[in-house]
């Protein structure tokens, strides 16, 4: 049978059984009138514990104190219903979140009968809701707080809907400035024009996501590199597009970093390429440098690297020493050398340098080496580096250069530099030992002429042969040097006296005397020597040599082929010569050079046949200066050319003015023959003066003919062709041989006054005079005897057949105006 009950009862039963809701009735005063199972479950009270009590017991103390229970009832009474979410207490004092509905209940008459109260425990939903809120809040804060990323929402049209701090930071817009604007403002003009913003949105719309990197623009117009992600947001239920989330990250830093990284990588790659190139280059440098390079492992002592040069030098051709210990592999001499060098280098803090003679695979060589110990940069490996240069040739060249710098190439004798060194040393040593040191200056007599007439090659041979002879006369510790030309010099050391130096000089002269055999010719030369001795003459090398040179000059003046020792008068004379040299040019221009005339007498007719013109220098301070005191200097300086022209012209002009037809004889220096123009000069003098050529005689000395100088003979012929006479002066003093008389058709021979002076005492002089006159007469050559001072000489010379005489007996050289024109008749 079905359970049948009244609707009231049914309703109450229903209420009673609802367990999810606390459903109960309150009296109009708020007293609990009934209690259902849900109420018991929710609040923990049983019906009998709670029915009849005021419902405020479910409220918290604070709410109770605030009068909430009554206020809520009042509201329900007024509005018919009160509803809230609030906190309620259980019996055990715990609070729960409750959804409370209080409905006012009226009877049919409209009178309030109480309140129906439904309370539902919503703690779980509440907590879930609270948790979701918390989550949402956190997420919002997160999004807002993320400052590295611009995170914002776009509406479906692309307008900015939300804006976070990162977006503000990245793009410079504040939320209120940008929300509502189209997101294309963030793009560059170019990108905007090409429609890039819409393309991005379109892709996100179609594919759900758009991702790219690109350049974006900030509010201030500056650009930055970004990584952009746009994602479409669809409504969960309808699947409709509600907008886009857009995340933009400022990649400028990263991009810069990436680019820097890229650059660094490229640089590193390039560097490594360069290093590879450099290493290749270094390999070829090592292979090609003209030095031996060896690298040894300091630990194992094995050879790690050896270039070709090293292998050729130490190991021999085709050998490789790499990977070996030097002593196991190389010949003992080189192994020992290398071992020594490498060991020294290995134990030496700094580079170790050496120069060593080594018996290498290519023979004895001088090796200049540097050995240094090196550590690899990381410090793991330790090497010994050997670099050896073959200095053999260089040293030989240096020795050669040194020898050349100190020796004369022609004779191999020390040169001036070495001579000065030796002399300086000898002077120091001599001073220490209390011994004398001598400097000798040597000069070949007439070498200039030999050289000029026989040629330089002949001269060179003569100098070489001469050097040998001189050297052979000296002791080991003496120095013989060639100072240049035909100038030689000697240092004699450890002497006890001046005489010792003089003896050596005499020996040297004697050594040179025997004829030289050169190119099949027999040839004799003389040598003049000047000697200066230290410490007496001077203690300084330079001055001593200068004094020796003065003594040499004196020896030459005194007749050559002899020696002379320095004495202080020579210094005075030398100063004098220097003075002469400077004065002579002025003298020439001021007409201080005049001619004096000495008569030449024709013995047979006893008349003055002519005059010899002899130069005189009328010095304003020093008075009359004789030719021997200035002609040699004029010859040395070349001034003789001008002086000779002056004498020639003056003689021609003066003679042209004389009454009668006496001849005039002018002396020509051998130096003047160097001027190929000489015949022309003579022709001009004749033409200018109007002197008949047959009245002019030119006196030359034998040296002009020395060595049969072809050029000079040509000049003589040209002179003779002018119609003038040629005389051979001072005959017998030089290297004379009567052969000269046949080599050129001389008009006159002048027998030197030295023979005339000696003729009365010396049979030899007499026989020379006789030989000359006999030959001359047979060749129809006139002879003039010079220096005739006595009648005895006159008679004897006449008896020997001399055609002419000249000397103080007849007259001294005097100015033209005072010249002797007529001889006194001979005494009967």
Q: Nearest approach, Cβ of 444 to ligand C2E (angstroms)?
A: 22
Comparing CB distances to Mg ion, the nearer of 528 and 667 is 667
CA distances from 31 to 18, 104, 308, 405 (A): 21, 14, 121, 144
Q: State the binding partner of 626 from ligand C2E, Mg ion, none, CB within 5 to 8 A by kind.
A: ligand C2E
Q: Nearest approach, Cβ of 669 to ligand C2E (angstroms)?
A: 4
Could you tell me where the beta strands, DSSP code E, fall in 180-275? 209-217, 223-234, 241-250
> What's the rounded Cα separation, in Å, for the pair 426 and 431?
8
Q: Nearest approach, Cβ of 448 to ligand C2E (angstroms)?
A: 16
Q: Nearest approach, Cβ of 453 to ligand C2E (angstroms)?
A: 19
CA distances from 441 to 168, 427, 629, 730 (A): 108, 16, 22, 28
* Residue 699 near Mg ion by CB under 5 A: yes
Could you list the residues that contact ligand C2E (CB under 6 A)?
Answer: 598, 614-615, 626-628, 631, 644, 647, 667-669, 699, 729-730, 753, 786-789, 806-808, 813
Q: State the binding partner of 631 from Mg ion, ligand C2E, none, CB within 5 to 8 A by kind.
A: ligand C2E
Q: DSSP secondary-structure letter at 616?
A: E
Q: State the binding partner of 628 from ligand C2E, Mg ion, none, CB within 5 to 8 A by kind.
A: ligand C2E
Interhelix angle 710-721/678-689, rounded to 10 degrees, is 20
Q: Is 211 helix (H, G, I), strand (E, B) or coil?
A: strand
Comparing CB distances to ligand C2E, the nearer of 362 and 676 is 676
Q: State the binding partner of 598 from ligand C2E, Mg ion, none, CB within 5 to 8 A by kind.
A: ligand C2E
Dihedral of CA 689/694/698/703: which sign?
A: positive
Is the distance from CB of 516 to CB of 577 less than 8 angstroms?
no
Place of tokens 């005097």: 814
Comparing CB distances to ligand C2E, the nearer of 152 and 617 is 617
**Segment 634-673, which members bind Mg ion (CB under 5 A)?**
667
Q: DSSP secondary-structure letter at 825?
A: P
What are the DSSP calls for 12-72, one per residue? HHHHHH--SEEEEEE-TTSBB----HHHHHHH---HHHHTTSBGGGGS-HHHHHTTHHHHH
Is the distance from CB of 66 to CB of 46 less than 8 angstroms?
no
Q: State the binding partner of 808 from Mg ion, ligand C2E, none, CB within 5 to 8 A by kind.
A: ligand C2E
Nearest Cα to 598, choosing from 786, 352, 754? 786
Q: Nearest approach, Cβ of 801 to ligand C2E (angstroms)?
A: 20
Place of tokens 């206020």: 71
> What's the rounded Cα separation, in Å, for the pair 136 and 242?
19
Q: State the binding partner of 647 from Mg ion, ligand C2E, none, CB within 5 to 8 A by kind.
A: ligand C2E
Q: State the binding partner of 615 from ligand C2E, Mg ion, none, CB within 5 to 8 A by kind.
A: ligand C2E
Q: Nearest approach, Cβ of 775 to ligand C2E (angstroms)?
A: 20
Contacts with Mg ion: how many residues (CB under 5 A)? Answer: 5
Comparing CB distances to ligand C2E, the nearer of 198 and 642 is 642
Q: Nearest approach, Cβ of 563 to ligand C2E (angstroms)?
A: 24
Q: Binding string, 728-757, against Mg ion, x = CB under 5 A?
A: -xx---------------------------
Comparing CB distances to Mg ion, the nearer of 418 and 698 is 698
Comparing CB distances to ligand C2E, the nearer of 72 and 727 is 727
First to last CA, the chain: 230
> What's the rounded Cα separation, in Å, for the pair 656 and 649?
10
> What's the rounded Cα separation, in Å, for the pair 76 and 115?
8
Comparing CB distances to Mg ion, the nearer of 390 and 729 is 729
Comparing CB distances to ligand C2E, the nearer of 178 and 671 is 671
> What's the rounded Cα separation, in Å, for the pair 383 and 734?
81
Name the one range near Mg ion by CB under 5 A: 415-423, 442-450, 478-486, 722-730.
722-730
Q: Nearest approach, Cβ of 671 to ligand C2E (angstroms)?
A: 8
Comparing CB distances to ligand C2E, the nearer of 250 and 752 is 752
Assigned token pair, 418: 């070495």
Q: Is 706 helix (H, G, I), strand (E, B) or coil?
A: helix
Comparing CB distances to Mg ion, the nearer of 600 and 691 is 600
List residues near Mg ion by CB under 5 A.
667, 699, 729-730, 786
């Amino acid at each position: 049978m079905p359970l049948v009950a009244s609707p009231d009862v049914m309703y109450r039963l229903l209420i009673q059984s609802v367990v999810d809701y606390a459903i109960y009735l309150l009296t109009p005063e708020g007293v609990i009138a009934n209690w259902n199972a849900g109420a018991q479950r929710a609040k923990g009270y049983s019906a009998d514990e709670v029915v009849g009590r005021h419902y405020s017991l479910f409220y918290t103390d604070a709410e109770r104190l605030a009068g909430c229970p009554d206020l809520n009832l009042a509201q329900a009474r007024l509005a018919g219903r009160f509803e809230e979410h609030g906190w309620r207490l259980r019996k055990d004092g715990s609070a729960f979140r409750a959804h409370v509905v209080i409905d006012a209940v009226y009877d049919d008459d409209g009178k309030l009968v109480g309140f129906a109260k439904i309370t539902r425990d919503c703690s779980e939903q509440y907590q879930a809701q609270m948790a979701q809120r918390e989550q949402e809040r956190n997420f919002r804060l997160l999004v807002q707080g993320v400052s590295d990323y611009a995170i914002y929402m776009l509406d479906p049209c692309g307008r900015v809907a939300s804006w976070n701090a990162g977006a503000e930071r990245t793009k410079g817009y504040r939320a209120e400035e940008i929300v509502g604007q189209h997101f294309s403002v963030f793009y560059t003009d170019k990108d905007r024009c090409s429609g890039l913003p819409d393309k991005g949105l379109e892709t996100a719309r179609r594919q759900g996501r758009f991702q790219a990197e690109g350049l974006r623009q900030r509010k201030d117009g500056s650009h930055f590199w970004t990584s952009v992600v746009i994602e479409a947001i669809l409504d969960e239920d309808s699947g409709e597009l509600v907008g886009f989330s857009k995340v933009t990250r400022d990649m400028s830093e990263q991009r810069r970093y990436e680019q820097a990284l890229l650059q660094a990588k490229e640089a590193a790659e390039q560097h490594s390429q360069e290093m590879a190139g450099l290493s290749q280059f270094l390999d070829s440098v090592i292979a090609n440098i003209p030095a031996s390079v060896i690298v040894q492992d300091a630990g194992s002592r094995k050879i790690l690297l050896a270039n070709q040069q090293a292998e050729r030098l130490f190991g021999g051709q085709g050998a490789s020493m790499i990977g070996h210990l030097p002593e196991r592999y190389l010949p003992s001499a080189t192994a020992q050398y290398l071992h020594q060098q490498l060991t020294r280098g290995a134990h030496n803090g700094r580079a170790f340098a050496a120069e060593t003679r080594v018996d290498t695979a290519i023979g004895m060589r001088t090796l200049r080496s540097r050995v240094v110990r090196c550590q690899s940069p990381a410090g793991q490996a330790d090497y010994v580096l050997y670099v050896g240069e073959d200095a053999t040739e260089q040293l030989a060249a240096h020795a050669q250069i040194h020898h050349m710098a100190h020796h004369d190439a022609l004779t191999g004798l020390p040169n001036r530099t070495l001579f000065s060194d030796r002399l300086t040393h000898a002077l120091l040593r001599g001073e220490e030992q209390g011994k004398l040191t001598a400097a000798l200056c040597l000069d070949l007599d007439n070498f200039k002429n030999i050289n000029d007439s026989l040629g330089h090659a002949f001269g060179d041979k003569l100098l070489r042969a001469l050097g040998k002879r001189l050297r052979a006369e000296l002791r080991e510790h003496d120095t013989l040097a060639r100072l240049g030309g035909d100038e030689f010099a000697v240092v004699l050391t450890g002497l006890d006296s001046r005489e010792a130096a003089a003896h050596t000089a005499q020996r040297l002269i004697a050594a040179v005397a025997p004829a030289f055999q050169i190119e099949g010719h027999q040839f004799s030369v003389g040598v003049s020597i000047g000697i200066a001795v230290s410490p007496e003459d001077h203690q300084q090398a330079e001055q001593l040599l200068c004094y020796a040179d003065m003594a040499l000059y004196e020896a030459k003046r005194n007749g050559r082929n002899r020696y002379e020792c320095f004495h202080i008068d020579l210094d005075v004379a030398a100063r004098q010569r220097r003075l002469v040299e400077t004065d002579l040019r002025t003298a020439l221009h001021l007409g201080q050079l005049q001619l004096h005339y000495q008569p030449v007498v024709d013995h047979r007719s006893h008349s003055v046949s002519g005059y010899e013109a002899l130069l005189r220098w009328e010095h304003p301070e020093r008075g009359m200066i004789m030719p021997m005191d200035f002609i040699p200097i004029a010859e040395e300086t070349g001034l003789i050319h001008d002086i000779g022209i002056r004498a020639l012209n003056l003689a021609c002009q003066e003679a042209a003015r004389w009454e009668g037809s006496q001849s005039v004889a002018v002396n020509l220096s051998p130096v003047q023959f160097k001027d190929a123009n000489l015949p022309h000069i003579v022709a001009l003098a004749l033409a200018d003066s109007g002197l008949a050529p047959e009245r002019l005689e030119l006196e030359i000395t034998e040296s002009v003919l020395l060595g049969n100088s072809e050029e000079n003979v040509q000049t003589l012929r040209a002179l003779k062709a002018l119609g003038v006479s040629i005389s051979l002066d001072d005959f017998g003093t030089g290297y004379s041989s009567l052969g000269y008389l046949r080599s050129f058709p001389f008009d006159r021979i002048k027998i030197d006054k030295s023979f005339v002076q000696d003729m009365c005492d010396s049979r030899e002089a007499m026989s020379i005079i006789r030989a000359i006159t006999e030959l001359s007469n047979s060749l129809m050559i006139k002879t003039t005897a010079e220096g005739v001072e006595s009648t005895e000489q006159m008679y004897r010379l006449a008896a020997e057949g001399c055609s002419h005489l000249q000397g103080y007996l007849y007259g001294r050289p005097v100015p033209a105006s005072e010249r002797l024109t007529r001889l006194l008749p001979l005494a009967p």
